[in-house]
Amino acid sequence: MNKLMIKGVALITVMLVVALAAVIATQMLARLQLQIQRTSNINNNQQAYWYAMGAEAFTKRVLFTAFESETDITHLGQIWAQGETTYPVDFGEISGEIIDLHACFNLNALRTQTSDPSSRIKTPARVAFEELILALNVEGISEFEAEYMADALSDWLDEDSSIASAGGAEDNDYAAKEFPYLSANNYLASVNELRVIEHFSVPVINELKKYVCIIPNSNLYKVNINTISDEQPELLQAMLSMSRADAEQVLSARSNEGFKNVDEFFNLPEIIKLKITEDQKQQFVVDSEYFKLKATANFNNSYFQLNSTLHVANNNKISVISRTIGRD
């Protein structure tokens, strides 16, 4: 009996050891598979990244080619303005779109350098921004709300902590919120920053996104009359305080190659009757120097999205001044 008991205990011990070894082996195999999959994902993501960087390099070449022959004009008939284009690559594809940052309103244009609130006057950019908000016809938004939003944005951008006017907001206003923070007192890096600025509502931001953009670290306010979309007459309407019908007429008067110079634009009947000032004329150009690439690359179901801002200097010096990863 004792021998049988010993054999039974030995058998049970062996079975426990085998079971434990099987569990350990299973766990090791599962971890190995996880590591293999993780490594594969990293490799795929890295390849998608380099596909996106390839799109950026290709964009530089496209812009160089476009401005090599037309050095003083930018228009929608050039090769860069083809809209979103998709190219097949091994085990994936690359999609990209080049956007002229002079065909939209640069929100950083509301940044002023003065620290004296009493000396601040409404610049053409400030006036145009308020007019643009009104032109969007968002329910519940009047001149009062538009002015307050412009005040708050100006305070967010300026260098000081002084409130510019009644609708302004600075550190004390933001620090008093349930989840406190401070004002940037610097340039915007993304249009999405409007969500944390006082007075801006979601409906207004959603509409504004179609017409505004960001030129990094620059308050440049120059809009290219040749590249404003036919579907966005509100931008021209706001800049010149004109009717929507006249704005649409002006945009339809452009040829495929756009206006050769700003004087052609100013000599249109719809513009002449406005009797615009010299300050208003300074808002417009026919040549652009800032562009944005929105590129999406996928490789074996791994996706990578890249937003690059490019600066074109002297038509042949093209540099990347900012990159952001993910949806802008």
Query: Which pLDDT band, with edges at 50, 70 and 90, does 1 fall under?
Result: low
- Whether residue 249 lies inside any domain: the answer is no
Residue 303, in any domain of the structure: yes
Same domain, residue pair 150 and 179: yes
CATH code where residue 317 lies: 3.30.1300.30
Of 211, 235, 251, the one marking the end of a domain is 211
Same domain, 21 and 78: yes
Tell me 225's DSSP state. T
Q: How many structural domains does the chain have?
A: 2
What DSSP string describes 293-315?
Answer: EEEEEEETTEEEEEEEEEEEETT
Residue 176: give its domain's CATH number. 1.10.40.60
pLDDT of residue 98 exceeding 50, the answer is yes
- Would you say residue 43 lies in a domain? yes
Q: Averaged over 33-38, what is the pLDDT?
A: 78
For 241-292, how does the pLDDT look when each residue is reduced to its tens digit (9 = 90+)? 999 999 999 999 898 889 999 999 999 999 999 988 898 999 999 999 999 9
Contact between 162 and 170 (Cβ < 8 Å)? yes
pLDDT at residue 105 tops 90: yes
- Whether the predicted pLDDT of 115 surpasses 70: no
96 shares its domain with 25:
yes
Edge-to-edge strand order for the sheet containing 302-313? 85-89, 92-100, 290-299, 302-313, 317-325
Question: Is residue 231 a part of any domain in this protein?
Answer: no
Residue 113, pLDDT score: 55
Residue 239 banded pLDDT, cuts 50, 70, 90: very high
Residues 116 and 138 in one domain: yes
How far is 134 from 235, CA to CA, in rounded Å? Answer: 11
Domain residue limits at 115: 108-211
| pLDDT tens per residue across span 148-207 | 999 999 999 998 888 878 888 888 999 999 899 999 999 999 999 999 999 999 999 999
For residues 215-229, give the mean pLDDT: 95
DSSP track, 61-129: HHHHHHHHH-SS---TTSTT-S-SEEEEETTEEEEEEEEETTSSEEGGGG------GGG----HHHHHH
Mean residue pLDDT across the chain: 89
State the average pLDDT over residues 97-103. Answer: 96
Q: Evaluate whether residue 124 is within a structural domain.
A: yes
What per-residue confidence (pLDDT) applies to 2?
67
Q: Is residue 97 domain-shared with residue 138, that is, in the same domain?
A: no
- CA neighbor of 220 nearest in space, from 307, 151, 316, 123: 123
Do residues 16 and 93 both lie within one domain?
yes
- Residue 259 belongs to a domain: no
The percentage of the chain sitting over the pLDDT mark of 70, rounded to a whole number, equals: 95
Q: Provide long-range contacts, Cβ within 8 A and 24+ apart, for 194-198.
A: 194/107, 194/153, 197/149, 197/152, 197/153, 197/156, 197/169, 198/148, 198/152, 198/167, 198/169, 198/173, 198/174
Alpha carbons 328 and 123: distance in angstroms, whole number: 28
Q: Spell out the long-range contacts of 8-11 with Cβ–Cβ below 8 A and sequence spacing 24 or more.
A: none
Domain match, 62 and 145 both: no
Q: Are residues 114 and 190 in the same domain?
A: yes
What is the three-class DSSP state of 254? coil
Q: Which of 75-79, 109-113, 242-246, 257-261 has the lowest mean pLDDT?
A: 109-113
- Please list the helix, strand and coil fractions of the chain in percent, rounded to the nearest 5, in that order: 45, 15, 40
